[in-house]
């Protein structure tokens, strides 16, 4: 089994070989490592994309807006991902972003996961019938079940989730009140362990 370090290094070198700058190659290496860690077939998608890149044209999405539409060619998932990562802090106030005609959306996915960590917000990414819940780059929840290559998608939706507790204030108060019981126990333990406690006076 290949190590994550090997996956990162070879992905970077392969990306440089197809023409990306070393800076972008660094990002690709991190992303393929992340996809393989989560079992999302990063290498398989990357190889397929690079084969297609030799014979097809792709548009580069540099300036991301609320709605992004390519009139002719599909957007390159790597350039779009780098742009999103660079602009994530300013994009989070938009709420929801849509990108039409994005190629190989799985290669775009880790950029969004990493952006989630940078801005401190959870993100929902949707394309076609697939949905991904990205949690600050710690884990990825998805409904993707089929082991197939997704080469093109008509529409990608990126939705920023407002930070909020998953529990009510009443539930928190109940749990906190329960936790206070340990304070009594700790105070009693401190008394028993304090200087002179438990010693027998033999004078």
- The pLDDT assigned to 47 comes to 96
**104: alpha, beta or left? (left if phi > 0; alpha if psi -120 to 50):** left
- The pLDDT assigned to 188 comes to 59
- The pLDDT assigned to 194 comes to 60
For residues 60 and 76, the answer to whether their CB atoms sit within 8 Å is yes
What residues of the chain score a pLDDT lower than 70? 139, 143-148, 183-203
The alpha carbon of residue 22 and the mean position of all alpha carbons in its chain are separated, in whole angstroms, by: 22
């Amino acid at each position: 089994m290949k190590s994550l370090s090997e996956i990162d290094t070879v992905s970077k070198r392969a990306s440089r070989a197809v023409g990306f700058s070393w800076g972008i190659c660094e990002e690709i290496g991190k992303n393929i490592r992340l996809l393989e860690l989560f079992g999302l077939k990063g290498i398989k998608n990357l190889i397929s994309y690079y084969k297609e890149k030799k014979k097809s044209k792709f548009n580069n999405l540099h300036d991301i807006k609320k709605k992004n539409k390519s009139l002719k060619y599909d957007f390159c998932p790597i350039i779009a991902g780098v742009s999103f990562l660079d602009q994530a802090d300013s994009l989070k106030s938009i709420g929801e972003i849509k990108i039409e005609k994005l190629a190989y959306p799985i290669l775009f996915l880790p950029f969004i996961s990493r952006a989630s960590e940078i801005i401190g917000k959870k993100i929902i990414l949707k394309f076609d019938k697939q949905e991904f819940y990205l949690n600050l780059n710690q884990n990825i929840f998805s409904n993707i079940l089929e082991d197939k290559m997704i080469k093109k998608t008509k529409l990608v939706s990126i939705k920023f989730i407002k930070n909020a507790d998953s529990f009510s204030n009443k539930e928190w108060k109940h749990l906190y009140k329960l936790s206070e019981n340990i304070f009594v126990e700790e105070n009693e333990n401190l008394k028993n362990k304090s200087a002179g406690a438990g010693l027998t006076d033999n004078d």
